[in-house]
Structure 1
């Protein structure tokens, strides 16, 4: 989730009403994808593996591999392509992130042309301040919220106003699908444990 105290966080890329596309927050997408993921930039050349793509599609759509993967005997095992567009997405049901790429195969003559890549790809744009926590049963109970590690709270959240009693603030987070979540950040107990 992208946190904001004003509720004006960046929007997520998904199909909105009327087929309108919104841009996913790149930092949030990369945080979900992990630090080892980088995306090639538009204009670069990439190698496309049709057989591997067919196998991946078959596996992710829960189809049996035998007999359902198309076989194109005249198609080479790999194609050198020009990358025209990259869009970041997140599955609505699983929140799994993926990228959709528009490719154009290059002719053998185009492949011989000198190509100087501007950059090797977009490195992972992991947000500099975030934390992950696996929620426990007590975190998800209706008894008031879940605790946040103190270091994470101090690093990620805006500072609390201690002139208020108790010190508290409202945080608004947007998830990958641009759903807004409101939290109340407070300190609880003698140890002043950060709590959402």
Structure 2
């Protein structure tokens, strides 16, 4: 999720429909090994592999979802026309949708100057990811943030207050806004997200073992 402190500035303007997801947040969730191809590049599409993937992810027979085309070659050389980043509404799992156009044998013979191998992973420099504990997902508790992570990612607290606290505004992958109270308290003192956190846990159906990722907001 992207973070900002209440009153520190407006969210960056929404991009177009095909760019509705924050690129840095998407890449952070996808991981450093994921690299998207650039529009205009040539890629190889494997129909059988795609069919097997559909069967594995749906736990159903391939024939029930993918028509059988006996004359379809095992691989197709295509040109990439569009890439859009998405996140599953239920699980927040990120994925990319690509539009491919198969090239004719004549087009494949045309001279092709390779483009970049892929879009560089636009991972944010300031972010942290934590695997949730049972305490983190308890509806009666809060989210315990490692001190280094809080100091690196969260806006600085005003330590003249007792206890130091602030309201954080976060936007998830679907651009839904969540509000949390960030407080520094306890013995020993630690950073916690309290008010608003249990609502988030319930809405996302989070359990111990799930992971959450926070990044700094890019101000416009």
The TM-score normalised by the length of structure 2 is 0.75
Measured after TM superposition, the shift of residue 183 of structure 1 is 1.1
Asked if 1 retains the 8 angstrom alpha-carbon contact of 2:38 and 2:80, the reply is: yes
Distance in 1 separating the partners of 2:171 and 2:115: 33
Asked if 2 retains the 8 angstrom alpha-carbon contact of 1:160 and 1:167, the reply is: yes
Structure 2 CA distance for partners of 1:102 and 1:12, relative to 1, 3 Å: farther
| Larger RCO (CA under 8 A, 6+ residues apart) | 2
Structure 2 CA distance for partners of 1:68 and 1:172, relative to 1, 3 Å: closer
Stretches of structure 1 that go unaligned for 5 or more consecutive residues are 190-194
Asked if 2 retains the 8 angstrom alpha-carbon contact of 1:12 and 1:177, the reply is: no
The TM-score normalised by the length of structure 1 is 0.83
Structure 2 CA distance for partners of 1:43 and 1:181, relative to 1, 3 Å: same
Find runs of 4+ consecutive structure 1 residues off by over 6 angstroms. 7-15
Measured after TM superposition, the shift of residue 171 of structure 1 is 0.9
Structure 2 CA distance for partners of 1:29 and 1:73, relative to 1, 3 Å: same
> More deviation in 52-61 or 98-107?
52-61
In the comparison of the two structures, how many residue pairs are matched? 188
Distance in 2 separating the partners of 1:158 and 1:127: 16
> More deviation in 44-53 or 1-10?
1-10
Structure 2 CA distance for partners of 1:67 and 1:61, relative to 1, 3 Å: closer
Distance in 2 separating the partners of 1:12 and 1:61: 36
Asked if 2 retains the 8 angstrom alpha-carbon contact of 1:170 and 1:183, the reply is: yes
Larger % of strand: which? Answer: 2
Alignment partner, residue 48 of structure 1: 45
State the Cα deviation string for residues 102-159 of structure 1 (Å, max 9, x = none): 1111111111111112311112212211111122222233444121111111111111
SS in 2 for 1:132: strand
CA RMSD of aligned residues (A): 3.9
Asked if 2 retains the 8 angstrom alpha-carbon contact of 1:13 and 1:25, the reply is: no
